[in-house]
Amino acid sequence: MDVVRLAAARIMTAASQARDRPDAGMSTAEYAVGTVAACGLAALLFKILTSSQVRQLLLGIITRALNLAA
């Protein structure tokens, strides 16, 4: 039982130390890199989803689904 209490005390100590660190989290540069990466991925997905092949595929799926439902 003492081992469990010791482990719990260590976890609580580590958690309180993590809360007290002022630099816990992303910096402005990391936010900028993440934002640029997200915008690049969004642009790539937009380009793929608006291509004529994907548009025809999606329209075919929707048309078949509506025909089955009717």
pLDDT confidence of residue 68: 82
- Domain borders along the chain are 2-69
Question: The tokens of 8 are what?
Answer: 């719990």
What ranges make up the beta strands (E) of the chain? none
- The answer to whether the pTM exceeds 0.75 is no
Does pLDDT of 21 surpass 70?
Answer: no
pLDDT confidence of residue 53: 92
Q: What confidence tier does 20 reach under pLDDT thresholds 50, 70, 90?
A: low
Rounded average pLDDT over 21-28? 65
pLDDT confidence of residue 19: 61
Residue 10: how many CA atoms within 13 Å on its side-chain side?
A: 6
